[in-house]
Structure 1
Amino acid sequence: MPLEDLFDRSPVLPPDPNISLARYLHTIRQNYQAAITQPDAQRSALLHIRLLQLICKTLPTHPEYSLPENKPLLKELRSIAHKSFEALEVFDEPVHHREPSRVDMSASLLDLFERIASDSTTRGHSTIGLLGGRMLPQPHVAALVMPSQTCGTICSSLRYENDVSQLMEVKDLLCFGLIHISPTQPEMGLPVELESYLSHYSNSVPEAFAIVIVPASEKRVRFYSCGNDGKVGVAHHVDVRNDGVPSFKLYDLRPLAIARDEQQER
């Protein structure tokens, strides 16, 4: 469908003065993430068009638009609009085939994960964590999620994955991939089970990657990602920063799973 027809399908509406500009921005953030993770190119383009019409045509008539205290909000709105314009320039390319953007991650997340996994690692078991991310203002890892899991020697598997999905939705996060440590993992490559997880996450978020920690290896931390051909290779788009940014939060879902298991045993 021509781009002009998509514009015609997306009417411009007046702003609701009862909805604050900050609330509009919150909704726009969510819709932008939906647009960039939408695998259907036409639907993705339509979402971007709606965002642009909202930012460029609707919101400038909002009564709060010219207030001095809203300048930071307007700056972020313009940044989102710029990214949506760029996305429309590659409208004919499926979203899930685009090249991943650079992702910032704090080095302290690696340290925290290893501390959490230390008891399991000492016992010879593996541990898996999930990475929650946000695309704005720059793609970054914003959360370390410790899911309920079955720990093996080489690889762990997730339990109660719906808990993870609900958390990601409530906290407005995208799954940026996983982090895994195993004291007995082979030196090279990504275990097949982890490849399956990574492939699944990459279908929604091209920035998704896997961190594999092998304590006994000389190169103990490795980064992997899925290419457009579906093959797993070394990830080059992750920037691990030592300056304390970006900040991230820890969400531990394991106590919730333990309580659920105990309830089921009664």
Structure 2
Amino acid sequence: MAPTASDSALLDTMRPLTTKEIAEKARNFQWNPNIPLKAWLRTTGTLSQEGQSYLQDGNWGQAYLLYMRYMILVMEYLPSHPEFKTPEGKRSVTSLNSSLPNIATHLENIKPIIQRERDEWMEEVKETIRKEQRQKHLADDAKSKSPSKYDQRASRDPALSSGRLLDAGDNQGLAVELAQKEIRRRDATRKATRKAGVGHDEEQSRRIAGFWNSWSDDLAAKQAEDEEVFRRQMKSTRSKLDVDDDDDEDDLNGLREYTRSHSRPSQAPSSRASSYKYPTIAKSEPIQYEALKPYSRTTPTPPTQLPLRPPKVGVPYQHEASSSPTPEPRHPAKEQMHPDRSLPTPLEPPKDLPPLPPKVHEEPPAPPKRLTFKPAAYLENGDPIRSIFLSQDLRQRFLNVASENTRRGLEMCGILCGTAVNNALFVTCLLIPEQKCTSDTCETENENSMLEYCMTEDLLMLGWIHTHPTQTCFMSSRDLHTQSGYQVMLPESIAIVCAPTSEPSYGIFRLTHPPGLNHILECRQESTFHAHKIDNLYTGAERPNGHVYEVDDLQFYIHDLRPGARTKTAQHIGI
């Protein structure tokens, strides 16, 4: 019995993507030559770092997509940018070309892994179909089930092709714990490499070679650690739920006792005594016992025949009870020394004993599946966007840094930097760039230092934060254009607006897509503030409707790139 059309549709939404399908998705981005070349260069760095993060997680499909998109962008699109013809543009793109061999190495090594995972999945599906057909349940299930909206979207997301899928919102503590463990591991590796005097370029080359030399063992160890953290979190959650249930039961019992004692008005003692029912007691009966026999001094007569002694374990002859002393056990050596001596016949082992069971050869445990967090939300066009975690203290710490500018009525901005772990994004650094601040705008300067720091520390630019010291909390037309530069290649990018003198005092936003991102990218107006023809250009990004989680225990630090500013590399939050 062949699978029905419904079965095929259901299975098609679950299958891993091929490398060809992933490559087609890699080309699915909006190239716009009107965006400054520096923004596209920043995007290439983001793609490279994201690819490395997914490679370390063992998420082959998403790593392949990001590296392929990097190749397409650098080789096909950047040379056609208007600023490419300038000497600075040529130098920038030439430096990117030097990284192409390493990216190609990644793609070549990932491709057979994706094919093998797809083949394994196909074998599992075939076996499942055979079992379902034998039980005659597949047809009934297919009639009652259809691919869900989530399954249809997940089937287009290479990051969800395999692994244990978890909801980030339901497992925020687990997500933060796994991320901080992985971030500490990466930091330790990077510091050890630098301590050995290895330059950044050589470090990247070694990281590529070292990864593929021991990637299977390292990934198995990392996934086993993640699995252990997951089990510990689940155990803690269950124990907490059990305690809560016990507390609820105790409270309920106390409430019942209180209700019983207070449900009726108090009565007089006589009435309580008359209504009280005493417990019944069974009628006593005399003790029955037998009369004692008279004491006799005579010794009881021993039995005429003693019972047979049980055979001793391991003695090779049959022992019979007799009145004679017990004979000494015979030994094979003595039997050989006295062959003529008459000896009892040794016991032969039974011939009908069952054969020994075969030794059990335990299969080595299969490596645990990696933990992958589902997308937290979807864009208006249906594309998934990952969760972003940031500390609840980040906004206040940024306001403290910007307090002097705020008193003077000047805007100020910071860059939200972080990393990707298990298909979720975590803000671990608040980067304060060099900037030119006015009452209505803040423009970053010397972006090369900002990009260099992010590349050196393996940080992704996940968005930005800025103040509106004299305005309300909203996204101005200038803010929308700035946000488009972040969101054009990282759809999860966010903009946080802090308006200390208004209510609400802050907001977390992203451009809609569509129509917001497309419209802003096509806008040709150059004035600082200008109106747009359509509404619904941006929307809130905070949970529950968005993809941003503010949590208590996520550590981050502040790094200030402004000239003369004190670098706060050790200013960790929550330690």
Asked if Structure 1 and Structure 2 have the same fold, meaning a TM-score greater than 0.5 normalized by the shorter chain, the answer is: yes
Q: Which runs of structure 2 are paired with 1:104-123 in the superposition (5 Å)?
A: 104-123=389-408
Q: Which runs of structure 2 are paired with 1:1-16 in the superposition (5 Å)?
A: 3=18
Q: Does 2:538 correspond to 1:232?
A: yes
Retained in 1: the 8 A contact 2:499–2:505?
A: yes
66 and 39 in structure 1: CA distance in 2 versus 1, 3 angstrom threshold: closer
Deviates more, 1:152-161 or 1:96-105: 96-105
> Cα distance, 1:234 vs. partner?
1.7
239 and 67 in structure 1: CA distance in 2 versus 1, 3 angstrom threshold: closer
Aligned mate of 2:410, from 120, 125, 130: 125
> Cα distance, 1:170 vs. partner?
1.2
Q: AA paired with 1:29?
A: Q
Structure 1, residues 69-90: CA drift from partner, whole Å, max 9, x if none?
A: 664389899537x68xx99xxx
Retained in 2: the 8 A contact 1:55–1:78?
A: no
113 and 4 in structure 1: CA distance in 2 versus 1, 3 angstrom threshold: closer
RMSD over aligned CA atoms reads: 4.4
> Cα distance, 1:228 vs. partner?
1.9
Q: AA paired with 2:398?
A: F
38 and 198 in structure 1: CA distance in 2 versus 1, 3 angstrom threshold: farther
2 CA distance for matches of 1:101 and 1:159? 29
Aligned mate of 2:558, from 241, 244, 250: 250
Q: AA paired with 2:410?
A: H
Retained in 1: the 8 A contact 2:18–2:114?
A: no
> Cα distance, 1:204 vs. partner?
1.9
2 CA distance for matches of 1:66 and 1:157? 43
Deviates more, 1:188-197 or 1:26-35: 26-35
Secondary structure of the residue aligned to 2:443 is strand
Deviates more, 1:204-213 or 1:34-43: 34-43
Instruction: Using the aligned pairs only, state the percent identity.
Output: 23
TM-score normalised by the chain length of structure 2 = 0.33
Q: Does 2:337 correspond to 1:29?
A: no
Secondary structure of the residue aligned to 2:436 is strand
Secondary structure of the residue aligned to 2:384 is coil
Structure 1, residues 134-184: CA drift from partner, whole Å, max 9, x if none?
A: 121331111100000011112211111121111111111111110001211
Structure 1, residues 81-133: CA drift from partner, whole Å, max 9, x if none?
A: x68xx99xxxxxxxx97232121110111111000000110111111001002
Which residue of structure 2 lines up, in the alignment, with residue 79 of structure 1?
370
Which residue of structure 1 lines up, in the alignment, with residue 478 of structure 2?
193
Which residue of structure 2 lines up, in the alignment, with residue 65 of structure 1?
217
Larger Cα-atom Rg: 2
Secondary structure of the residue aligned to 1:204 is coil
62 and 161 in structure 1: CA distance in 2 versus 1, 3 angstrom threshold: closer
Q: AA paired with 1:105?
A: L
Deviates more, 1:145-154 or 1:65-74: 65-74
Retained in 1: the 8 A contact 2:466–2:498?
A: yes
Which residue of structure 2 lines up, in the alignment, with residue 14 of structure 1?
none
2 CA distance for matches of 1:255 and 1:30? 37
Retained in 1: the 8 A contact 2:56–2:219?
A: no
Secondary structure of the residue aligned to 1:255 is coil
2 CA distance for matches of 1:251 and 1:48? 34
72 and 112 in structure 1: CA distance in 2 versus 1, 3 angstrom threshold: same
2 CA distance for matches of 1:170 and 1:144? 15
Secondary structure of the residue aligned to 2:478 is helix
Q: AA paired with 1:120?
A: N
Secondary structure of the residue aligned to 2:402 is helix
1 CA distance for matches of 2:539 and 2:485? 15
> Cα distance, 1:206 vs. partner?
1.1
Aligned mate of 1:152, from 438, 446, 449: 438
Q: AA paired with 1:101?
A: R
252 and 147 in structure 1: CA distance in 2 versus 1, 3 angstrom threshold: same
Retained in 2: the 8 A contact 1:97–1:228?
A: no
Q: AA paired with 2:561?
A: L
Q: AA paired with 2:391?
A: S
Retained in 1: the 8 A contact 2:68–2:107?
A: no
Which residue of structure 1 lines up, in the alignment, with residue 82 of structure 2?
none
1 CA distance for matches of 2:65 and 2:487? 12
Aligned mate of 1:161, from 434, 439, 447: 447
63 and 49 in structure 1: CA distance in 2 versus 1, 3 angstrom threshold: closer
If each structure's strand is expressed as a fraction of its own residues, which one has the higher value?
1
Structure 1, residues 181-229: CA drift from partner, whole Å, max 9, x if none?
A: 12112x2531222212211111121110000001111100111102222
Aligned residue-pair number: 225
Which residue of structure 2 lines up, in the alignment, with residue 101 of structure 1?
386
Secondary structure of the residue aligned to 1:135 is strand
Secondary structure of the residue aligned to 1:150 is strand
Q: AA paired with 2:505?
A: R
Q: AA paired with 2:438?
A: G
Gaps of at least 5 residues in structure 1 are 8-24, 88-95, 258-266
2 CA distance for matches of 1:123 and 1:115? 14
Q: AA paired with 1:198?
A: Q
